Structure 1
Amino acid sequence: MKDLKHHPIIQQYIIWNRFGDLLGMDFEVKEKGHVMYRMPVKDIHLATPFAAHGGSVAALIDAALGVACLTEVCEDLKVVSTVNLTISYLNPAHKGDLLTADARVTKSGKRILFVEGKVINQKGELIATASATMNAYPVSKISEKVF
């Protein structure tokens, strides 16, 4: 398998994704359509003195779902955007946790992709599950400077 993380479109995503940098997120491409995203829970993620804000967990899983889809379409010179995101929060994420989002594409069409994922902490506790619908479109709609 090619290392899709080094594809020019994914490399450009890394440069553009300032929000991911702010939250301390990083990812690895396991294979086409499968991504693992990680985020340590720090003070900037907290909604209470000890628990992460749900928006932080949502940002992590949305990023994982999106990049999983991006690995499906980048070789066709496309990018993706979230059309619908559904999250179920099952347990709190606590300060000091290392969260891992595991996302896999379940169906990939020419324009619409379906993807599912989960977030666990370092103890293997299930924090959240999610599913999303993504729209794929030509990268030229957002930039001509990718290549």
Structure 2
Amino acid sequence: MEVDILEKYNQTNQFGNYLDLKIKILKPGDVKYTVSVKEHHLATIKSAHGGFISAIFDQIVGTAALSKAILESKLVSTVEFKINFLKPVFLGDDLIGHGLIIQSGKRIYTVKGEIFNQNNNLVATGIATLNAYPFDKSDMNS
């Protein structure tokens, strides 16, 4: 069932597909994403918009939590996150995001997220809280 849920999520996640994110689940609760910065991700002539970086971060932490929650036939939603932008991100940069669950309970997951550029410089970091809920209570269950 968990593979079916993940496949369905990837098919219905239009925003993640639009961002052109590539995912690799290392193990439940531990994921990596890659994405190249394109012109439609920019806020200025050369640098990426903070909303783009935040969206990547949300995908990273959300998928880390989801990769564990699906083992119990659950989905997750972001309750809150805090992100620190440490360095600018530029057109053509190849970004690598890493999400790792640092605490999980019955319903609440705490996930650390980091985003690096192609030179292995940490460009953003943060922490998120996510809520796990039964798949059968979701709109994906139709």
Q: Under TM normalisation by the shorter chain, which class is it? A: over 0.9
Maintained 8 Å contact 1:102/1:118: yes
Moved segments of 4+, more than 3 Å = none
Task: After TM superposition, give the deviation of residue 69 of structure 1 in Å.
Answer: 0.3
Q: Which amino acid aligns with 2:45?
A: P
1:35-94 Cα distance to aligned partner (Å, 9 max, x none): 001111000100001000011111111101001001111011100000011000000110
- Paired with 1:9 and 1:61, the residues of 2 have a C-alpha distance of 21
Corresponding residue for 1:62? 58
**Given residue 42 of structure 1, which amino acid in structure 2 is its aligned partner?**
K
Measured against aligned partners, the alpha-carbon deviations of 1:14-47 in whole angstroms (never above 9, x if no partner) come to 0111111111111100111100011110001000
Asked whether 1:19 is paired with 2:15, we answer yes
* TM-score of the superposed pair, with normalisation by structure 1: 0.92
Q: Distance in 2 between matches of 1:125 and 1:134?
A: 27
Give the AA of the match of 1:49: I
TM-score by length of 2: 0.95
User: Is 2:140 the counterpart of 1:122?
Assistant: no
In structure 2, runs of 5+ residues without a counterpart are: none
Q: Describe how 1:27-46 pairs up with structure 2 within 5 A.
A: 27-46=23-42
Aligned twin of 1:3: none
1:144 positional shift: 2.4
Partner of 1:110: 106
Find the aligned partners of 1:94 and 1:135 in 2 and give their Cα distance. 33
CA RMSD in angstroms comes to 1.3
Letter in 2 for 1:46: L
Identity of aligned residues (%): 39
Match of residue 73 from structure 1: 69
Inter-partner Cα distance in structure 2 for 1:131 and 1:144? 29
